[in-house]
Amino acid sequence: MSADPGQFVLTLLQAIAMGLLTGMVYGLMALGLSVIFGVMRVVNFAHGEMMVVGMYLAWLAFDRLGLDPLVSLPAVAAALFVFGYVLQRTVINPFIGLPEHMQFMLLLAVAILLVNACLAIFGPDTHGVQVDYMFDSFNVGPLVLDAVRVYAALVALLIAGLLWLFFTRTRSGKAIRAAADNHVGALVVGLDVKRLYALTFGVGAACVGAAGALMLLIVQVHPFLAIDYTLLAFVIVIVGGLGSMSGALAGGLLIGVSEAVAGVLLQPSLKSVFSFGLLILVLLLRPQGLLARRS
């Protein structure tokens, strides 16, 4: 820690700013998990694994085609959407309504398969991208912001806005919300709830795939990264409130800032201490999450 209080405050503000930028990508990742649970009441224990798949797809597009992850992001999101849609219709749908432990075992098996598939195809080594603006930065007053984090945060915010528009302005989005609010009522009025559930899972998978493409700009990918992001997504949605889109974004920002502050006050290797400490505090004071409504 610097002996100069002014320099320490500046370092702390710098860390908070960088944490907010990274937190936007975290929030997009958690949005997928929150949307799936909010509609289907299914907890996707393969969430981090699906994000790693998205990271690998973005890396392949960069390595083989020279495409910036920001450019390949729509294709990666589309691929994850198709994967999620098919997975829900063929594998997950028969487990809807069954006891939670059976859903847990199913999605845990999917997670293990995805990790081992990535390990078999890409090996245990890390892979990253080196884009032209990797070392560019923006000066905002005394703060210096990495260009890659700024671009990733802006794209994550844009996708979150588009997702909000989808659920509030489109017929499919409104139908999904209706099915989430009243399953029996949706069936009575003739909605194809099974298709809506598959569409929801596909949208959630697309969100996490897009987040994976953005995260590749910040960190390198390897198969065993998946469990870390699964845990991180759960921490974020529990802090923000399961099923709350705004809660997922707020939770992502809080966790991003807490990790960055931990790197300044403690050590980068202890950043999870702040995250899980915040989780425990929220569970003690507001178990339903910061922005979730009470049942």
CB atoms within 10 A of CB 119: 13
Place of tokens 């006050």: 265
* Residue 66: burial class (beta carbons within 10 Å; 0-12, 13-18, 19+): exposed
* Residue 17: per-residue pLDDT: 94
Q: Do residues 234 and 275 make contact, with C-beta atoms less than 8 angstroms apart?
A: no
Q: pLDDT tens digit string along 246-258?
A: 889 999 999 999 8
Q: What is the mean pLDDT of residues 260-280?
A: 81
* Residue 3: per-residue pLDDT: 55
Of 62-66, 123-127, 169-173, 242-246, which range is least confident? 242-246
pLDDT at 157 over 80: yes
Please report which confidence band the pLDDT of residue 295 belongs to, taking 50, 70 and 90 as the band edges. very low
What is the average pLDDT value for the chain, to the nearest integer? 90
Q: pLDDT tens digit string along 4-46?
A: 777 888 989 999 999 999 999 999 999 999 999 888 888 899 9
Residue 35 to residue 232: CA distance in whole angstroms: 16
Please report which confidence band the pLDDT of residue 200 belongs to, taking 50, 70 and 90 as the band edges. very high
**Nearest by Cα to 243 from 174, 189, 294:** 294
Residue 243 to residue 295: CA distance in whole angstroms: 12
Q: What is the mean pLDDT of residues 109-131?
A: 95
